[in-house]
Amino acid sequence: MTYLYLVLTTFFWAAVFHLGKYAINYMSPLSAAAWRFLVAGVLLIPVVFFQKAWDGNAIHRNVWPILAMGVIGVFGFNASLFFGLKLTSPVNGGLIMGFNPAITALLTATLLGEKIQPRQWLGFAISLAGVVVIVCRGSLQQLLSMSFSTGDLLIVLGCTCWALYSVIPKRFVKQLPTMLMTTSTIVVGAISLAVMAQLTAGDLFVVQSWPVIATVVAMSVFGSVLAYIWWNQGIARIGAARAAIFVNLVPLFTAAIGVALGQSLSVAQLVGAALVIAGVITTVSTKQAATDVAIKVGG
């Protein structure tokens, strides 16, 4: 079930690209991101208390990792991503996002001393090749002529923020239940996004139409609440490096959703999708037991 939840997580994140594109037509990127996580926090806090998962001592013990994950993984990632996509092309943004598993693996090896198996590296390479084929539409000329702008650098920064969010728990979080960790980091990130949105754009409290509100709620429930819970559970069970490979499914699902909305699917996208899936299968079928790389966030 862990792998299924990770797949669903990436599907929800892919949907966020389409939902977010609609939302930022009516509100600033920071406000859209802020309301996405503010609603998520409002939904998650009662769940934590209902499950009797609230532990003030655990939060106090992990206050700095929680702050770091909220600021880096929620605020940093979303601010970098949304502003980056406004300044660069989808081709560049999609290709750069494909480097996230490699960044995560590098940080895992560097900061945690965790060995990355050769088969995992092979999976990274195969799935990254698939991402390249998808976002470049099978055109080598398009790949070679790509130039990096400020937007491209912001996407790189966003990838790095998400990689750090995935790696921090294993090194620094001690005996903190997954649900409580997810909720507390989302709350920290939501407050950071809200404050910055109001200070910079000033549209945080502008009343939106019902379609926009429904869009934000959908991003909150599926792209934040469920996705973040399942992502952190996946990291806890199979490790950050192995979980990161699933990020490469985001461009695949983004393209599939586009087809459902009426866009055509090219041969390059089909080939790329096959490579991405092959890379994920290669990585998760590594013979190393998942328990060898489990993150003990629950004690």
What is the pTM (predicted TM-score) of this model? 0.76
Single out the residue of 92, 98, 150, 147 nearest to residue 124, CA to CA. 98
**Interior/surface letters 28-39, b for 16+ CB within 10 angstroms, e for the rest:** bbbbbbbbbbbb
In a domain, 299, yes or no: no
Q: What integer pLDDT is reported at residue 98 of this predicted model?
A: 67
In a domain, 228, yes or no: yes
Mean pLDDT score across all residues of the chain: 81
Confidence check: pLDDT of 11 > 60? yes
Query: Is position 172 within any domain?
Result: yes
pLDDT in tens, 29-73: 899 999 999 999 999 998 888 877 788 899 999 999 999 999 999
- CB 155 within 8 Å of CB 84: yes
The total number of structural domains that make up the chain: 1
Residue at 144 is within a domain: yes
- Tell whether 178 is covered by a domain: yes
Whether 101 is covered by a domain: the verdict is yes
Domain boundaries, position 162: 2-293
Q: What span, in angstroms and rounded, lies between the C-alpha atoms of 42 and 47?
A: 9
Percent above pLDDT 90 for the chain = 28
**pLDDT exceeds 90 at position 215:** yes
Q: Is 298 part of any domain? A: no
pLDDT in tens, 115-160: 777 887 888 788 778 777 777 767 776 666 665 567 778 888 888 8
Domain membership flag for residue 166:
yes
- The angle, 0 to 180 degrees and rounded to 10, between the axes of the packed helices 77-87 and 150-172 is 160
Binned at pLDDT 50, 70 and 90, residue 246 comes out as confident
